[in-house]
Chain A
């Protein structure tokens, strides 16, 4: 009995009971579900992933044919989800930082305008914006037959933007490897030289050396490897522009919607972060004679970043999860592909389990990366 009064043992006991209860409930649900499914003769298991998918996915970030498997189709969905969320996070962050700084401008027109921007985007559900952007794109731009030719070979219509594409017959891999090698070399060289400059005070032409480090492997590859590439220029067929690279309106509408909503959230986080840096920092920098723009860049933003990063993680996770609204405007993301699979195989539980696991896994990955970055920019207390 005295053991029970030991706080540590008691805590351990409680936690074991709690975990046990959770596991028990999960097991109950799982076994009841499988028993019920078996009783109703509903197929279960993940065997369907290896069967032929047989449906077309129009927008594919990785190669896919209808003869590929359901598993491959899910990968295409994941790639599409990652593509649109990554781009939205990238553009949303840049736009958001600019808007957030604009909010704090001394110019009343600019700051009010930015306020209006933020409020308009934050206070209306994203789904409505997606439908709005999509309807605008498909009703404002002309049909494909009257496509606007903006530059030779670049067409804009309500079926999206079509432009010439490079078709690599061979040599693409070699070039990519050369570029990666060159970039790594350039980063290493820059670091070494910077450290040397700090240690010895000797100036070296860092930029030139870095550029050389990138260009040298590329040039060598271009000269030595067998590279053949052709330009695929879109042509107006009977209905569509065929060939070239297509940026489809579904993708654009989703990207615009996610980017704008992310930028509004990022703007508020940036504004709050900047305002949280104490006024004394501004005054000290001004006293040292730094102009406002440099004060912001060198003194305020590095400190604000510590406050900004944790809520920013949240925003990025939201963007990633919101990308599932793609289904409303016909962009084939993970959820849409899973839905089609669900409909073809009837195995809803498995399909939903897969997309939940993928969202969970990728969300945790985003959190890990952001936590790592947060640890880097956090104040190092000595």
Chain B
């Protein structure tokens, strides 16, 4: 008896010490990542185009490439990253608890998330909006006609709430059917339990791509919300946030400047001062981020520029078949605008 109580006390003390130790750990994310030798990045579970494993188990997708860009910036190697498949409900906890170093998971940047969840968002990597998809046979041309329809969704703040707001604004009602798993959600829609399925437009494209016959489904024209998808990091680690943000901007600036995965070696010889700064030929931008000075070169060499990443994973030649839409350079009427590298 006495022995067991001693054990109990020892355990309690152990836990207490452990907790205190956890509180006291204050290494920066960059230090942790470097010491570990690889980046740990939270991505979606099997979303074609954004994060899926190919036949060999190699992760691919748009969100995945954002992680690889950061890994290239830190280590000069896009493969030095482990992916954690995060659930829609626990994604922020995974980041808060330090299980992952960054979250790159089709996550909408919103006020309440940034202010109350202990996160900082990086730049928007994909300008999305919530849409609705219906079978063509339903003969519906506008979301406004969907009053009284059943709509399948995943649980999530923006999705369910935007639908509620949309139907309240047009004075209609609808039946909401919420599924925890993306597979059940798709199956319920394809088997006709719901007339419509609602999600971000990019995600709808991804759902449509796995349908037996994608041409039977049509995404309605309305975009009922703004969904700027952005990577996020833990709050109060300015250096790490800068690294993630400027890695994303590096992808965009590289496209603006015509630097591609194929010509990056040639471009390094360019006389343009900004390209020289970006690729680490002149000045010490990388050092200022506590990174290798060739960080920009490594990103483009590792994953290419924004346009290449987009076309490879989401573009018109892929199953998703997305056009660039708003996700094109500001100079061509899009919303991508990287701050200057100087």
Residues of A within 8 A of B (CB): 14, 17-18, 21, 24-25, 28-29, 32, 35-37, 40-43, 54-58, 66, 131, 134-135, 138-139, 143-144, 158-159, 237-240, 242, 249-250, 327-330, 332, 336, 339-340, 342-346, 348
Interface-lining segment among B32-40, B154-162, B261-269: B154-162
Residue B188 lies at the interface, judged by CB distance under 8 Å to chain A:
yes
Minimum C-beta distance from A322 to chain B (A): 15
Tell me which of B16, B149, B174, B175 contacts A24 (CB under 8 A).
B16
Minimum C-beta distance from A352 to chain B (A): 10
Residues of B within 8 A of A (CB): 1-2, 5, 8-9, 12, 15-16, 19-20, 22-23, 88-90, 92-93, 96, 112-113, 115-118, 138, 145-150, 152, 155-157, 160-161, 163-165, 168, 174-181, 184, 187-188, 191-193, 195, 234-236
Q: How long is the Cα–Cα vector from A158 to B179 in the complex, in angstroms?
A: 16
Q: Are B235 and A40 in contact (CB under 8 A)?
A: yes
In chain B, what residue has the closest Cβ to A41? B118
In chain B, what residue has the closest Cβ to A135? B187
Given contacts A24-B12, A25-B15, A346-B112, contact A240 B150 (CB under 8 A): yes
Q: Are B155 and A242 in contact (CB under 8 A)?
A: no
Q: How long is the Cα–Cα vector from A249 to B146 in the complex, in angstroms?
A: 21
Q: How long is the Cα–Cα vector from A51 to B300 in the complex, in angstroms?
A: 46
Q: Are A138 and B193 in contact (CB under 8 A)?
A: yes
Q: How long is the Cα–Cα vector from A162 to B5 in the complex, in angstroms?
A: 61
Given contacts A42-B116, A56-B174, A327-B180, contact A239 B195 (CB under 8 A): yes
Q: Are B191 and A139 in contact (CB under 8 A)?
A: yes
Chain B residues with CB under 8 A of A21: 8-9, 12
Q: Are B96 and A343 in contact (CB under 8 A)?
A: no
Q: Are B184 and A328 in contact (CB under 8 A)?
A: yes
Chain B residues with CB under 8 A of A56: 160, 163-164, 174, 176
In chain B, what residue has the closest Cβ to A131? B184
Chain A residues with CB under 8 A of B117: 42-43, 346
Q: Which of B2, B145, B168 has the most CB of A within 10 A?
A: B168
In chain B, what residue has the closest Cβ to A27? B16
Q: Are A25 and B12 in contact (CB under 8 A)?
A: yes
Chain A residues with CB under 8 A of B157: 340, 343-344
Q: How long is the Cα–Cα vector from A114 to B146 in the complex, in angstroms?
A: 47
Q: Are A158 and B22 in contact (CB under 8 A)?
A: no
Q: Are A240 and B148 in contact (CB under 8 A)?
A: yes
Q: How long is the Cα–Cα vector from A292 to B115 in the complex, in angstroms?
A: 72
Q: Are A40 and B118 in contact (CB under 8 A)?
A: yes
Minimum C-beta distance from A39 to chain B (A): 8
Tell me which of A37, A327, A330, A340 contacts B177 (CB under 8 A).
A330
Given contacts A32-B19, A54-B165, A344-B157, contact A42 B118 (CB under 8 A): yes
Minimum C-beta distance from B173 to chain A (A): 9
Q: How long is the Cα–Cα vector from A185 to B89 in the complex, in angstroms?
A: 52
Chain A residues with CB under 8 A of B195: 239-240
12 A-B contacts, Cβ less than 8 Å apart?
A: A18-B5, A42-B118, A57-B176, A239-B138, A240-B175, A328-B184, A330-B184, A343-B157, A346-B92, A346-B113, A348-B92, A348-B93
Q: Are B188 and A138 in contact (CB under 8 A)?
A: yes
In chain B, what residue has the closest Cβ to A43? B116
Q: Are B164 and A32 in contact (CB under 8 A)?
A: no
User: For chain A, what secondary structure do more than half of its interface residues adopt (helix, strand, loop), or is it mixed?
Assistant: helix
Q: How long is the Cα–Cα vector from A32 to B16 in the complex, in angstroms?
A: 9
Q: Are B176 and A32 in contact (CB under 8 A)?
A: no
Further pairs besides A55-B176, A327-B180: 4, Cβ < 8 Å = A54-B164, A237-B148, A239-B150, A330-B188
In chain B, what residue has the closest Cβ to A10? B1
Chain B residues with CB under 8 A of A344: 157, 161
Q: How long is the Cα–Cα vector from A40 to B117 in the complex, in angstroms?
A: 8
Q: How long is the Cα–Cα vector from A329 to B195 in the complex, in angstroms?
A: 17
Q: How long is the Cα–Cα vector from A43 to B117 in the complex, in angstroms?
A: 7
Q: How long is the Cα–Cα vector from A57 to B2 in the complex, in angstroms?
A: 54
Q: Are B168 and A32 in contact (CB under 8 A)?
A: no
Tell me which of B9, B16, B176, B179 contacts A28 (CB under 8 A).
B16
Q: How long is the Cα–Cα vector from A249 to B236 in the complex, in angstroms?
A: 47
Tell me which of B115, B116, B163, B184 contacts A329 (CB under 8 A).
B184
In chain A, what residue has the closest Cβ to B146? A239
Tell me which of A58, A339, A346 contacts B175 (CB under 8 A).
A58
Q: Are A343 and B1 in contact (CB under 8 A)?
A: no
Q: How long is the Cα–Cα vector from A104 to B175 in the complex, in angstroms?
A: 47
Minimum C-beta distance from A61 to chain B (A): 16
Q: Which of B22, B23, B138, B193 has the most CB of A within 10 A?
A: B193
Q: Are A330 and B5 in contact (CB under 8 A)?
A: no
Q: How long is the Cα–Cα vector from A201 to B110 in the complex, in angstroms?
A: 79
Given contacts A57-B176, A239-B150, A346-B113, contact A14 B5 (CB under 8 A): yes
Chain A residues with CB under 8 A of B236: 40-41
Chain A residues with CB under 8 A of B165: 54
Chain A residues with CB under 8 A of B112: 345-346
Chain B residues with CB under 8 A of A24: 12, 16
Question: Closest 3 A-B residue pairs measured CB to CB?
Answer: A40-B118, A143-B192, A43-B116
Chain B residues with CB under 8 A of A238: 145, 147-149
Q: How long is the Cα–Cα vector from A66 to B233 in the complex, in angstroms?
A: 32
In chain A, what residue has the closest Cβ to B188? A138
Minimum C-beta distance from A55 to chain B (A): 4
Q: Are A138 and B191 in contact (CB under 8 A)?
A: yes
